Structure 1
Amino acid sequence: MKLRCLIVDDEQAALNVLTNYISKTPFLELCGAYLDPIAALDVIYKEDVDILFLDIHMPEISGLEFIKLLRGRTKVILTTAYSQYALDGYQLNVVDYLLKPVPFDRFLQAVQKVKDLITVKYQPETPSNTQQPAQIIPTQDHVFVKVDGKIVKVRFEEILYIEGLGNYVSIYTPASRLVTLSTMKEVEDYLPENDFIRVHRSHIIALGKVEYIEGNQIFLANGTAIPLGETYRERFFKLLEENMMNRK
């Protein structure tokens, strides 16, 4: 099954990038790319569209206003150069929020989310395949995390480490521990790869918070000892060495 995609953006260059990405993704099919959001809205009301790539800043109507007119007819992935609208997108139940320039790997991650949601929709609802709404929304220098009905902003620079707890993760900062529904793999994908590294099957640490390593333990700035798994040892020391060289 191919997912039908439509792009709405007031910049031709942005349309070209996403059109190229869609052409390289086997399970996607482009059904339209529009500079005019009103013309695109007419298409969505007349045809089946699975994914809408939507810019936020447009002259005639904003992307956030556009979403309200859709009435849930399609899954929305926002594309924008402005990170400050991530919370608004979260509240409007968008699937993902891509910052321009959009890297191909983040594009693939976003469309895979939609594919998973649509696959689940057409399967019997069981505990193993029930799709949860997004609990973490990444932006350029922070994430929004859903915790106990609240949406909490966490800056990457504040994070000490992250601990996996089955289908949940705990995000530790000097001031708090935030528990949210997510997997370690999902969190790992959202974090800046040069600043965070997985060192154990249930632990991700911030490299900048490492104080010293002793045996198979990594000690962080707050005194917490994190186990260093054998599987992750080589990559950890390699990235640590690269960071030391970059700071000389």
Structure 2
Amino acid sequence: MKITCLIIDDEPLAIQVIKAHLDKIPGIEIISTFQNPVEALDMIKSTKIDLIFLDIEMPLLSGIEFLKTLQHPPKVIFTTAYRNYATESYELDVVDYLLKPISFTRFFKAINKYKNLVNINTVEATVKEEESNNHVYVNANKKFIKLNFNDILYVESIKDYVKVYLHDKSVITKDSISNFEYKLPNEFLRIHRSFIVNTNKVTAFTKVDVEIGKREIPIGASYKDTVVSFLKDC
């Protein structure tokens, strides 16, 4: 299946460079090119577009402003002459950020990054469909690991990762604790901004911590009343 793409850049020469790079890579179809992002809007809404090569500094509307207007945008690779937008662009979950002049080697690396990202998302979607009411799959060590809810003792947030503690081991996966909390059933309780516990595994608790076996897990001050009330009713 071909990757369908758009090129949006106010500089005709920049469009030609990207087209020349794409011509060297099989499996990619350029649907259209635009020098004005506003003119591309109708096509994005009406046509299946997988990837947009999007300039940032453009008249009328910047690439960043344009991307923010899209409710369900395709994947985006920014192409720009300016370094100062890098941080903001990654907050928009773009695939890559290419600085002009763009070499073919760097361009090819961005395409491979897109392909890898799409493959991971496809696998994750398939796994999600296969999940049942008693387990969840997590992506760790380049594979998807099945975790039965009954085996999970508690979950800890570590920056951009969560660490899932089981009876005999722990598993680390890249995820936010809020997102991971959404995947868990009702017997799991957020007791701290950094901890979720399986209430079925709680062996004792106070107003300041929860015990699971010999492990003591702190209760956050803002969670105290809810946690104590919930555990008393268990």
The TM-score bracket by the shorter chain reads: 0.5 to 0.7
Mark the runs of 5 or more structure 1 residues left unpaired by the alignment.
131-146, 150-180, 182-248
Partner amino acid for 2:7?
I
Residues 1:100 and 2:100 are matched in the alignment: yes
CA distance in 2, matches of 1:50, 1:129: 25
1:148 to partner: Cα distance? 3.2
CA distance in 1, matches of 2:45, 2:5: 14
1:129 to partner: Cα distance? 5.3
State the match for 2:220 in structure 1: none
CA contact (8 A) 1:19 1:33 kept: no
Report Cα offsets for 1:147-202 as digits up to 9, x if no partner: 935xxxxxxxxxxxxxxxxxxxxxxxxxxxxxxx8xxxxxxxxxxxxxxxxxxxxx
Report Cα offsets for 1:26-82 as digits up to 9, x if no partner: 121111111121111211111011110000000010111011122232000000000
State the match for 1:57 in structure 2: 57
SS of match in other structure, 1:84: coil
SS of match in other structure, 2:85: helix
CA contact (8 A) 2:96 2:110 kept: yes
State the match for 2:67 in structure 1: 67
Residues 1:80 and 2:80 are matched in the alignment: yes
CA distance in 2, matches of 1:115, 1:71: 22
SS of match in other structure, 2:59: coil
1:24 to partner: Cα distance? 1.0
CA contact (8 A) 1:7 1:15 kept: yes
Pairs within 5 Å for 1:25-174? 25-123=25-123, 124-125=126-127, 127=139, 128=142, 148=159
CA distance in 2, matches of 1:16, 1:103: 13
Pairs within 5 Å for 1:219-234? none
State the match for 1:18 in structure 2: 18
Relative to structure 1, the CA distance from residue 55 to residue 79 in structure 2 (aligned partners, 3 Å threshold; closer, same or farther) is same
Mark the runs of 5 or more structure 2 residues left unpaired by the alignment.
128-136, 145-157, 161-173, 175-234
1:116 to partner: Cα distance? 1.4
Partner amino acid for 2:159?
D
SS of match in other structure, 1:14: helix
State the match for 2:198 in structure 1: none
SS of match in other structure, 1:94: coil
> How many residues are aligned here?
135
CA distance in 1, matches of 2:85, 2:72: 19
TM-score, length of structure 2 as denominator length: 0.54
Partner amino acid for 2:37?
P
Relative to structure 1, the CA distance from residue 22 to residue 129 in structure 2 (aligned partners, 3 Å threshold; closer, same or farther) is farther
Q: Which has the larger radius of gyration?
A: 2
CA distance in 2, matches of 1:129, 1:94: 24
1:112 to partner: Cα distance? 1.1
CA contact (8 A) 1:23 1:30 kept: no
TM-score, length of structure 1 as denominator length: 0.51
1:120 to partner: Cα distance? 2.4
CA RMSD of aligned residues (A): 2.0
1:111 to partner: Cα distance? 1.2
